[in-house]
Structure 1
């Protein structure tokens, strides 16, 4: 009969699992409007679930970005203070001593953030904006380091897939 024909084809159809026996998710989300917004809404889970190569790239680029951004800020502070003008007065005190280029400001920012220590380039005590910027850099980058390190540790602390044990 006709109903037996339908039963035979239903049994022949293989039903796919939502979660495979080895613990992998078989659901794929494609062409969902606002997908990026969903990932950014829960940034912590997104960063923890990233593949290691992307996480390491994010980690490295975060440091380089903050060094550069604060280097540019220190450079502009020096420009505003007149530190780069030719024929400076002998009484002129630079905001960041021995910083004359953007590269020098980048290196000062790197030295400050990594706490290498000050040798050739250092901040003067007569420039409150530079002091405030230095404190802001250390606080902001400290929080970023906490976030990134926490994401690494959270990924390491996750249990392995149970079906593989």
Structure 2
């Protein structure tokens, strides 16, 4: 039991360290920190307050919502109290019998706050009300109603914008937890599987990748050097018919950055493969981008994905999402040079095969789930 807990804690620390070192997490969030931002640049967040609020967490949105209404009631409560006191409406001012009050029963700050609340919300309950005998009360009432309407419209817009954010649609697009390298259509390919969990299409879908790595050229170290990675399906790489899960593949040839890697050196590399899917939702016509990333330990050499699409007895197409993360060993060369019979300094000069045909269901930590 102790050994099991120790191993779990060790795996947890390892996963935390890997997640911290990633630029893009499995669910698409960018793990980057901004430092030494100038005050004048930080003030730009205040100027662009709409985007700042839309990107704010819900807990703070609720806090700002309550604070904005409470502050407006407090400010107009002070105005009503000042107006009543200036007009001599307070009971301790002993108004004469023929006095023309601006507000009835506004005798202290509590009554003034409740009067502002009832006026702005239109509740109209209690014995607090405004008269038409005072021009100041009519003006304050009009201004408060306009301000209240603007506050309500503003927060309705914020809430609706947050609910309809395109990244919410991106949560129904899922990538396979691991990538595989195996022969495909007469060449060696790196494959990734992507699935749309909704029946509505993603129009004009395009998928591409970026390989991020640190390179040293001429004594100069370039951090996060980006190399473009092209992915394609059987029908091409643009305007995908993304109705059912697709298996994307990148051809590992001489122009590919994976060409010099091998089965025993892949996991020793230091890189991150970031995959992007751009498209437009058919229902809302909103554009969205889905991202995920793969590090060397999440790329399996010599495996292939199990089929995920079949036909039922009723001759209908059926998608089995339980197979989206399942792989099976296939005969694969040890390196790309071996596969293409290219001369190189790798130890394995001939292709090798994996004779096992056992099916594996890859179980990754929960933090890597889409």
Calculate the TM-score normalised by the size of structure 2.
0.38
Larger relative contact order (C-alpha < 8 A, sep ≥ 6)?
1
- The 3 A distance-change label for structure 1 pair 163 and 23 is farther
1:94 alignment counterpart: 101
- The 3 A distance-change label for structure 1 pair 163 and 109 is closer
2:170 alignment counterpart: 162
What is the alpha-carbon distance in structure 1 between the residues aligned to residue 77 and residue 94 of structure 2?
24
**Mapped pair 1:131 → 2:134:** no
**What secondary structure does 1:94 align onto?**
coil
Q: Larger Rg: 1 or 2?
A: 2
- The 3 A distance-change label for structure 1 pair 163 and 106 is closer
What is the alpha-carbon distance in structure 1 between the residues aligned to residue 35 and residue 134 of structure 2?
54
Stretch of structure 1 that moved more, 89-98 or 24-33: 24-33
Aligned pair partner of 1:149 in 131, 156, 160: 156
Superposed CA deviations along residues 108-137 of structure 1, whole A, max 9, x for unmatched, are: 000011110154011111111111111101
1:49-88 alignment, distance < 5 Å = 49-84=55-90, 85-88=92-95
What is the alpha-carbon distance in structure 2 between the residues aligned to residue 43 and residue 124 of structure 1?
38
2:30 alignment counterpart: 25
Greater share of strand? 2
Q: What 5-or-longer segments of structure 1 have no aligned partner?
A: 1-15
1:122 alignment counterpart: 129
Greater share of helix? 1
Runs of 4+ in 1 over 4 A off after TM superposition: none
- The 3 A distance-change label for structure 1 pair 100 and 149 is same
